[in-house]
Amino acid sequence: MQVKINGKIYKTEKTGTILEVCRDLKVEIPTLCYHGDLLPSEGLCRLCLVKTNCHRGLVASCQTLAKDYLEVLTEDEDIEKARKWNLELLWADHAGKCSRCQKNGHCELQNLARKFKIDIADFIPDWQNSPKESQLLALKESLKNRVVDNENPCLVRDNQYCVECRRCIKACREIQTVDSYGTNYRSIETKVGTPGEIPLDCVFCGQCANYCPTGAIVEKDETERMEELLADKSKLKVFQFAPSVRFTLGEEFGLKPGTFVEGKLISALKLLGADLIFDTTFSADLTIVEEANELVKRILAWSRGDEKVNLPMFTSCCPSWVLYIEKYWPQFIDHLSTCKSPQQMLGALMRSYYPERRKIHPRNIISLSIMPCIAKKFEAQRKEMQTDQLRDVDLVLTVRELARLIKKKKIDFNSLPDGKADSLLGDYTGAGILFASSGGVMEAALRTAYEKLTCEKLHQLDYQEVRGVKGIREAEVIFPRSKCLTKELKIKVAVAHKLVNAKKILESLEKGECEYDFVEVMACPDGCLGGGGQPIPSDSMVREERKRAIYALDKILPRRKSHENPMVRKVYEDYLKNPGSVLAEKLLHTKYENRKS
pLDDT digits (tens, 9 = 90+) for 42-100: 899 999 999 999 999 999 999 999 999 999 999 999 999 999 999 998 888 776 788 88
**127-139 tens-digit pLDDT:** 556 666 655 565 5
Q: What is the mean pLDDT of residues 301-320?
A: 92
At residue 489's C-alpha, the angle toward residues 486 and 493, to 5°, is 155
What's residue 511's pLDDT?
Answer: 94
CATH architecture of 2-75: Roll (3.10)
Q: Is the pLDDT of residue 319 over 60?
A: yes
pLDDT of the residue at 423: 83
pLDDT at 307: 81
Marked catalytic residue, from 141, 384, 488, 507: 384
Average per-residue pLDDT for the chain: 93
Task: Kindly name the residue from 379, 401, 443, 520 that is annotated as catalytic.
Answer: 379
For position 550, what pLDDT does the model report?
A: 98
Supply the CATH classification number for the domain 125-219: 3.30.70.20
From the candidates 107, 154, 317, 373, give the one annotated as an active-site residue. 317
User: Whole-angstrom Cα distance, residue 471 to residue 485?
Assistant: 33
* Average pLDDT over every residue of 233-254: 98
479-499, pLDDT tens digit by residue? Answer: 999 988 888 999 999 999 999
Architecture of the domain defined by 289-338+427-588:
3-Layer(aba) Sandwich (3.40)
pLDDT band at 597 (very low <50, low <70, confident <90, very high): confident
Catalytic residue among 180, 337, 369, 437: 337
Active site residue 317: yes
Mind listing the pLDDT tens digit for each residue in 459-483?
A: 999 999 999 999 999 999 999 999 8
Neighbouring residues of 191: CB distance < 8 A, sequence distance ≥ 6: 145, 147, 159, 162, 164, 183, 184, 185
Provide mean pLDDT across the span 450-466.
94
Q: Give me Rg for the CA atoms of the chain.
A: 26
Q: Is 401 considered catalytic here?
A: no
Q: Whole-angstrom Cα distance, residue 371 to residue 545?
A: 19
Please, are residues 64 and 51 in contact by the beta-carbon 8 Å criterion?
no
Catalytic residue flag (residue 165): no
Question: Is residue 376 flagged as an active site residue?
Answer: yes
Domain ranges of the chain: 2-75, 125-219, 223-281+344-425, 289-338+427-588
528 catalytic residue (yes or no): yes
Q: What is the pLDDT of residue 417?
A: 97
Count of CA atoms in the C-beta half-sphere (13 A) of 195: 5
**pLDDT tens per residue across span 195-222:** 988 999 999 999 999 999 999 999 999 9
Q: How far apart are CA 428 and CA 241, in angstroms?
A: 12
For range 567-582, the mean pLDDT: 97
pLDDT of residue 128: 59
Catalytic: which of 237, 376, 498, 561? 376
Distance CA 197, CA 593 (A): 26
User: What would the pLDDT profile of 109-162 be if each residue is shown by its tens digit?
Assistant: 999 999 998 866 565 555 556 666 655 565 555 555 678 899 999 999 999 899
Q: For position 140, what pLDDT does the model report?
A: 56
291: annotated active-site residue? yes
Q: Which helix (H) or strand (E) holds 217?
A: strand 217-219
Q: How many CB atoms lie within 10 A of CB 231?
A: 9
Rounded Cα–Cα distance for residues 396 and 377 (Å):
6
CATH architecture of 223-281+344-425: 3-Layer(aba) Sandwich (3.40)
- Residue 306, pLDDT > 90, answer no
Instruction: Check whether the bond before 319 is cis (ω within 30° of 0).
Output: no
> What's the average model confidence in pLDDT over 9-15?
93
- pLDDT exceeds cutoff 80 at 426: yes
